[in-house]
Structure 1
Amino acid sequence: MPDVGEGLTEAEILSWYVKPGDTVTDGQVVCEVETAKAAVELPIPFDGTVHELRFPEGTTVDVGEVIISVNVGGDAPAGPAAPVAETPAAPAAAPAPAATPAAEAEPEPEGRQPVLVGYGVAASSTKRRARKAAPAATAEPAAAAAAPAPATAPAAAPVVPGQLNGSGPATGRPLAKPPVRKLAKDLGVDLTSVTPTGPEGVVTRDDVHRAVAPAAVTAAPAAPVAEPETPAAVAPAAAPVAVSVEARETRVPIKGVRKATAAAMVGSAFTAPHVTEFVTFDITRTMKLVEELKSDKDMAGLRVNPLLLIAKAVLVAVKRNPDVNAAWDEAAQEIVRKHYVNLGIAAATPRGLIVPNIKDAHAQALPELSRSLSELVATAREGKTTPAAMQGGTFTITNVGVFGVDTGTPILNPGESAILAVGAIKLQPWVHKGKVKPRQVTTLALSFDHRLVDGELGSKFLADIAAILEQPKRLITWG
């Protein structure tokens, strides 16, 4: 598992795109992993044949652990399934000792050996986390792979439904697509207990749903204790009770993006003294400008919305109040003033809240800023945001208005001194030119680190943003 981002120590394997026996080439993507910041596709740096997948999908692996081995020799057997399926073939057992933890302590045999991606041939033992497979099957995988297989082993392996081709009895991992695995995890269904009906033994969504009721029926034998004379009649009646109890709670492991977000927010909330200020104002002129820009030929094909002009207003206000764009360095006891703006935009994704940022947003004209925003949002929705895209932010905007929320008290993104929450834009009665008229009104909330942004600076900065959005011509006169 390579270090895919600064400071990350582990990643979860989301999907394998290859299986033992597959041919791979240098640069080919073989799996997708989820770090604490994003989902990342990992390429393989070798040409050869996949020998073994060390961890199943859904496993969290420490950086530096071996996750896949590859046979780089052209005349070697393809994978760990060979020793089981072809007991007479003597060379078939050669790769197994180098591809299992129990054998890594032994000297490597001469000749071609499985290459461990990113780290060369295994030279030392590797600590592995416990898998969820059967204990008896995983306790001594090296012995199962290296020892001559019994006559009954070849016949037993193919009949295991949903077993990964080439994984053998050491893993017994059912075949299922990532969405199906997530569904099973959410419903508390063990995929190894599900009977697959898909092509080539693949577990489908319907298989998982059908397994929910049978899973409850397995608890039914306890019910006949009260009426042992009619166990067959009691068992079906007890099933609905067990299902309803199962449905009352769902436990979701805290990991990946959500785990990192929780840790960052707790650290930020209890490290930086937060102050939040609010301003409600008339944004009607900005909304009219948005409509005009949509038909402007210079903005043709670009996404124009209120967030675009709010982001531009923030950049102008930062230029007028540069001390807001700073960071507190506790270790060095220094305030670090940034002469650039990496503008973060909080984005809600299926994996949790992430904050990718637009690098050097202060130097971008409106059309370029629009393209950057569109690319940032599209990439986040696809789950393809890279760790690098979320590092180095200096100021963040979170748009809670899209959910119909008026405002909030946002928590600072770690390493930044301020964050702006944009509330819903609503038509409200407002005093305009001495008369009460319906106007577009919104509320902005600015949270800032009071260690380096005092009340005066925070208030001026927030007032500048509101003034620009009330009179968007200030984008020109102040920008």
Structure 2
Amino acid sequence: MTTMTEASVREFKMPDVGEGLTEAEILKWYVQPGDTVTDGQVVCEVETAKAAVELPIPYDGVVRELHFPEGTTVDVGTSIIAVDVTGGAAAEAPAEQPEPAAEEAEPEAKPQGRQPVLVGYGVATSSTKRRPRKGPEVTVPAPAQAIQAELNGHGHDTVADRPRPLAKPPVRKLAKDLGVDLATVHPSGPDGIITREDVHAAATPMPAEQPAPVATVPAAAPAPVASYDGTRETRIPVKGVRKATAAAMVGSAFTAPHVTEFVTVDVTRTMKLVEELKQDKEMQGLRVNPLLLIAKALLVAIKRNPGINASWDEANQEIVQKHYVNLGIAAATPRGLIVPNIKDAHDKTLPQLAEALGELVATAREGKTSPAAMQGGTVTITNVGVFGVDTGTPILNPGESAILAVGAIKLQPWVHKGKVKPRQVTTLALSFDHRLVDGELGSKVLADVAAILEQPKRLITWA
């Protein structure tokens, strides 16, 4: 047996997976000592104060040691896994050095490789070069085959069974939302790449499962059921997302003077438009629900009242006016409340906004929201109506000036055209930072959102 030298062992350190984060908890190891790993392979999942993130290893080799067990919180910069880069796949690397022309083919290989979801995680500096991987040539240890198959989009196949279909990450998410197996889709894009149109075509014969009209964010995990087995109380450590949320909410509540206004509105016409849009060919395969039109209504209201889209810079004593809208959507997940945002939502068409909402919700439900997706928000929507709640007084997301709470949409008696009729009604609540948003501005924004939901044709006339 050849003795491993220290020079052959690479130490993979806990990276900074967010801006300024100092630690992360190891949730799950996907490899064990003795397993072969390849450049870009996910070796573990960690949870930071912002999200759960999968960590890919940046070189080839054989796992020598896992320095920490699952459930351990590790400081950024601390080594978490040792890999012998002279063994396994790494030993074969010299024989597989690509010729100069191979580097030109590298862009074609990118759709096949798993893209790291880390912030601040750089490109590997090892001599190993990424190449298009063919199924039979990939060495995956038996315990990791199911994981590698899942990463490639095959819930029941291994990498060795068939080549991985070529598709960009957004297309893979779309296929997952529609329940389409990419291996069964006929590609029409250049070099055999699967396009959105290919996925929609494959999904057409099978109607996609539609969610409940108002259930647009993932439901929270069921509350623990009291066992009454003699235990008087249970203590749960405050960490990860819950710890970060608590600190942020305390800071926001006691820094920004909150004002909340309410309005009850007849949204019957909006609900009819939702049903019509579900049948529109331009919206097929997209997430269409009341939240989509509420989000669009808020974007139009911000366009008409841009002063609401700002933040307060205490250090410089300035109001920072934002000329873009990164629209946050509060999502309840088993790990706690997170608020990913849709970047540049103000520039998106209704189909584009629907697609972005669908991807945001699917990613949050899987617990794969990246830290970058939760940074830079300007205005937020929280849909408490999915829990059957009429409304609430939401607390501002730190750094933002306004948050809109949407209550449950219920059939209620309503005076319509001089007569009491059953109508679809909801209550909206807008909280805003009174340091930079006065009552007039806040009232105008809330009134505009309500007016659009009551008469959705205003989405056209006011946009």
* C-alpha spacing 1:70/1:423, structure 2 compared with 1 (3 Å): same
Question: Equivalences for 1:49-448 in 2 at 5 Å?
Answer: 49-74=62-87, 244-246=229-231, 248-448=232-432
Residue 13 of structure 1 is aligned with which of 26, 30, 35?
A: 26
Larger relative contact order, structure 1 or 2 (CA cutoff 8 Å, min sep 6): 2
Conserved? CA contact 2:327–2:380, under 8 Å: yes
Aligned counterpart, 1:41: 54
SS in 2 for 1:244: coil
SS in 2 for 1:414: coil
Q: Could you list the per-position Cα deviations for residues 334-379 of structure 1 after superposition, in whole angstroms to 9, with x for gaps in the alignment?
A: 1111111100000011100100000111111111111110110010
Q: Once the 2 structures are TM-superposed, how far is the Cα of residue 243 of structure 1 from its aligned partner?
A: 8.4
TM-score when normalising by structure 2: 0.67
Q: For residues 61 and 417 of structure 2, what CA distance do their matches in structure 1 show?
A: 75
One-letter amino acid matched to 1:18: V
Q: For residues 37 and 361 of structure 2, what CA distance do their matches in structure 1 show?
A: 33
Q: Once the 2 structures are TM-superposed, how far is the Cα of residue 398 of structure 1 from its aligned partner?
A: 0.3
TM-score when normalising by structure 1: 0.64
One-letter amino acid matched to 2:263: V
SS in 2 for 1:311: helix
Q: Could you list the per-position Cα deviations for residues 197-235 of structure 1 after superposition, in whole angstroms to 9, with x for gaps in the alignment?
A: xxxxxxxxxxxxxxxxxxxxxxxxxxxxxxxxxxxxxxx
SS in 1 for 2:323: coil
Q: Once the 2 structures are TM-superposed, how far is the Cα of residue 274 of structure 1 from its aligned partner?
A: 0.4
Aligned counterpart, 2:214: none
SS in 1 for 2:79: coil
Q: For residues 425 and 41 of structure 2, what CA distance do their matches in structure 1 show?
A: 52
Conserved? CA contact 2:59–2:124, under 8 Å: no
Q: For residues 283 and 240 of structure 2, what CA distance do their matches in structure 1 show?
A: 38
SS in 1 for 2:229: helix
User: Which protein has the bigger helix share?
Assistant: 1
Conserved? CA contact 1:265–1:411, under 8 Å: yes
Q: Percent of pairs identical after alignment?
A: 85
SS in 2 for 1:341: coil
* C-alpha spacing 1:312/1:119, structure 2 compared with 1 (3 Å): closer
Conserved? CA contact 1:38–1:385, under 8 Å: yes
Aligned counterpart, 2:105: none
Q: For residues 459 and 243 of structure 1, what CA distance do their matches in structure 2 show?
A: 49
Q: For residues 286 and 383 of structure 1, what CA distance do their matches in structure 2 show?
A: 31
SS in 2 for 1:268: helix
Q: For residues 27 and 62 of structure 2, what CA distance do their matches in structure 1 show?
A: 21
* C-alpha spacing 1:243/1:471, structure 2 compared with 1 (3 Å): closer
SS in 1 for 2:425: strand
**Structure 2 gaps, min length 5:** 1-13, 89-121, 126-226
Q: Could you list the per-position Cα deviations for residues 152-203 of structure 1 after superposition, in whole angstroms to 9, with x for gaps in the alignment?
A: xxxxxxxxxxxxxxxxxxxxxxxxxxxxxxxxxxxxxxxxxxxxxxxxxxxx
Q: For residues 290 and 425 of structure 1, what CA distance do their matches in structure 2 show?
A: 13
Q: For residues 327 and 44 of structure 1, what CA distance do their matches in structure 2 show?
A: 38
> Which of these two proteins has the greater Rg computed from alpha carbons?
1
Q: For residues 54 and 66 of structure 2, what CA distance do their matches in structure 1 show?
A: 16
Tell me the matched-pair count. 319
Q: Once the 2 structures are TM-superposed, how far is the Cα of residue 245 of structure 1 from its aligned partner?
A: 2.4
Conserved? CA contact 1:2–1:118, under 8 Å: no
